[in-house]
């Protein structure tokens, strides 16, 4: 009973944290919506289109190349502190990887400057420099997010999100009220948001980066747990590379549908497909706040290794999937009853939406976010490479299915998304239930990983 009560308390605390971050991200999303709404009224159609293209490029690059470092920091800091160890090595290795990625991006951007500037940004040199600066600023902001999540400084994390959205909105608002004018000022907001959000970091750091042990853990240092191996660059790089593959696969699931529609039926079809997939994209964006708190929470529980923590781990995963399933069922019902009307209110009456299309995507969203939950659990269990293999296999399957052209292009994308998400969810569920040690992983006697390894070995023997 005591174990059950402690597990329930830990899961409830996680739920409150996830709820707070989701609310903060929702407000930040509204601020970003305000940025684009004001820009659309203040700029010409061509200038506004350039801002949208700039934002899209920045978002894709940052999501693929810098979110892995965020996840690495979040997981590793949580694990190191749960093992009563200092976090300096984790920060140093993550910073080294971040610096390498940033340098590679800058070199690649300038090598492809002609293509980016002329083909994407319509020859606007200023927007090219904004793109480079914005990617680097977001990279630093994602690094800060990983640190704050790993440290469980979720109040600061929420403040960072709100400062980001507010800083971006201020530039669009300045143009809207006539204080400034032109696309260049609006575009600067894309850089200013993440740059200003970093102002929260000095308040969060405190004494955490000093020479001493983590706050609240007197005497904690690298020697406190001598059986635990040091965190290395190879481990950090391997984890980040695996998460990068996950991020690439995520872009395939959520971003290529409009491209398939465009190739088959033109630009208008791409816009129609984009609007339908917003039924999935909007919840996925909100889920990022849940993911930010879920990974360090699960990592700490697993690293602690007692019975209460093990039960809290499973309970937290079940709680998250239950909420996802409930939200997906509610969304599917809303789409069935009033989906076409709501879509036309949101996106205008240029397109006619079918209820079946919207319901299929809503169901797929439920499977997708359940898979994302199980992915965070797999990362916490040290299964990054195997999780990445599941994502890549399903992303390839999604692409092959859409290239087959077995049905109408819109239904092809929708069914492909829902089925691929369901298969991904099943694969990650199997991985979550029977995690296996990674190559070279040290398993401590009596630890949860030893039990997991014994269960996996028993499966192999059957």
Q: What string of DSSP letters covers 85-106?
A: --SHHHHHHHHHHHHHHHHHHH
Domain contains 444:
yes
Domain contains 430:
yes
Q: pTM for the complete prediction?
A: 0.76
Task: For the chain of 462 residues, list the mean pLDDT of each consecutive stretch of 10.
Answer: 52 64 76 80 79 82 88 85 78 90 94 88 88 94 88 84 90 88 89 91 63 43 50 77 89 82 74 78 77 81 74 86 90 89 74 85 92 91 90 94 84 91 95 70 46 43 40
Residues 220 and 314 in one domain: no
Q: Do 135 and 191 meet the contact criterion of CB atoms below 8 Å apart?
A: no
Q: Which residues contact 227 (CB under 8 A, 6 or more apart)?
A: 444
Domain contains 411:
yes
Domains contained in the chain, number:
2
Domain contains 351:
yes
Q: Do 8 and 315 meet the contact criterion of CB atoms below 8 Å apart?
A: yes
The pLDDT of residue 430 is: 93
Residues 216 and 242 in one domain: no
> What does the alpha-carbon distance between residue 87 and residue 253 come to, in Å, rounded to a whole number?
35
The pLDDT of residue 267 is: 64
Residues 308 and 436 in one domain: yes
Domain contains 13:
no
- Helix residue spans in 305-440 (DSSP H): 307-347, 355-380, 384-404, 409-433
Q: Look at residues 231, 266, 291 and tell me which one is the last residue of a structural domain.
A: 231
The pLDDT of residue 75 is: 85
The pLDDT of residue 264 is: 77
H/E segment holding residue 193: helix 183-197
The pLDDT of residue 194 is: 92
Which 3 state secondary structure label does DSSP give 421? helix
Q: Do 167 and 32 meet the contact criterion of CB atoms below 8 Å apart?
A: no
Domain boundaries, position 391: 235-456
What are phi and psi for residue 152, nearest 5 degrees?
60, 30
Residues 46 and 174 in one domain: yes
Which 3 state secondary structure label does DSSP give 305? coil
Residues 443 and 301 in one domain: yes
Residues 224 and 298 in one domain: no
Q: Which residues contact 136 (CB under 8 A, 6 or more apart)?
A: 102, 105, 106
CA terminus-to-terminus distance, the chain: 34
Domain contains 314:
yes
Residues 327 and 420 in one domain: yes
Measured CA angle at 130 (ends 129, 133), to 5 deg = 85
Domain contains 461:
no
The pLDDT of residue 171 is: 92
The pLDDT of residue 222 is: 41
Q: Look at residues 231, 250, 277 and tell me which one is the last residue of a structural domain.
A: 231
Residues 121 and 103 in one domain: yes
Residues 220 and 134 in one domain: yes
The pLDDT of residue 296 is: 83
Q: Do 237 and 92 meet the contact criterion of CB atoms below 8 Å apart?
A: no
Residues 30 and 51 in one domain: yes
Residues 373 and 285 in one domain: yes
Residues 252 and 178 in one domain: no
> What does the alpha-carbon distance between residue 23 and residue 118 come to, in Å, rounded to a whole number?
39
Q: Look at residues 197, 231, 265 and tell me which one is the last residue of a structural domain.
A: 231
């Amino acid at each position: 009973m005591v174990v059950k009560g402690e597990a329930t308390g830990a899961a409830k605390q996680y739920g409150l944290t996830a709820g707070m971050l989701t609310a903060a991200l929702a407000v930040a999303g509204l601020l970003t919506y305000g940025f684009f709404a004001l820009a659309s009224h203040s700029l010409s159609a061509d200038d506004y289109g350039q801002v949208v293209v700039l934002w899209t490029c920045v978002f894709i690059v940052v999501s693929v190349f810098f979110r892995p470092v965020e996840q690495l920091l979040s997981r590793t800091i949580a694990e190191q502190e749960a093992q009563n160890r200092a976090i300096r090595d984790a920060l140093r290795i993550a910073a080294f990887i971040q610096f390498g990625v940033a340098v590679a991006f800058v070199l690649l951007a300038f090598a492809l400057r002609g293509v980016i500037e002329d083909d994407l940004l319509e020859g606007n040199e200023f927007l090219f420099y904004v793109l480079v600066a914005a990617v680097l600023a977001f990279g630093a902001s994602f690094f800060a997010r990983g640190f704050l999540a790993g440290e469980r400084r979720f109040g600061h994390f929420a403040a960072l999100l709100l400062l980001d959205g507010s800083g971006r909105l201020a530039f669009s608002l300045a143009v809207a009220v006539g204080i400034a004018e032109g696309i260049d000022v609006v575009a600067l907001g894309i850089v200013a948001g993440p740059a200003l959000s970093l102002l929260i970091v000095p308040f969060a750091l405190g004494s955490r980066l000093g020479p001493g042990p983590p706050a609240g853990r007197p005497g904690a240092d690298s020697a406190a747990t001598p059986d635990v191996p040091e965190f290395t660059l190879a481990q950090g790089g391997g984890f980040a590379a695996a998460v990068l593959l996950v991020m690439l696969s995520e872009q395939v699931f959520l971003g290529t549908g409009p491209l398939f529609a465009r190739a088959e039926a033109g630009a208008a079809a791409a816009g129609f497909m984009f609007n339908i997939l917003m039924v999935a994209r909007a919840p996925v964006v909100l889920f990022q706040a849940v993911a930010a708190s879920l990974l360090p929470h699960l990592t700490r529980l697993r690293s602690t290794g007692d019975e209460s923590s093990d039960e809290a781990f499973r309970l937290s995963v079940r709680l998250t999937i239950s909420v996802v399933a409930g939200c997906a069922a509610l969304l599917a019902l809303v789409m069935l009853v009033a989906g076409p009307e709501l879509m036309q209110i949101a996106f205008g009456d240029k397109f006619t939406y079918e209820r079946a299309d919207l319901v299929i995507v809503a169901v797929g969203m439920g499977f997708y976010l359940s898979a994302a939950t199980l992915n965070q659990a797999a990362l916490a269990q040290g299964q990054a490479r195997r999780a990445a293999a599941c994502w890549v296999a399903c992303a390839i399957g999604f692409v092959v299915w859409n290239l087959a052209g077995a049905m109408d292009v819109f239904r092809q994308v929708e069914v492909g998304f829902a089925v691929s998400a369901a298969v991904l969810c099943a694969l990650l569920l199997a991985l979550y239930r029977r995690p296996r040690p990674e190559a070279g992983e040290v398993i401590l006697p009596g630890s949860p990983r030893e039990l997991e390894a014994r269960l996996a070995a028993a499966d192999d023997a059957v």
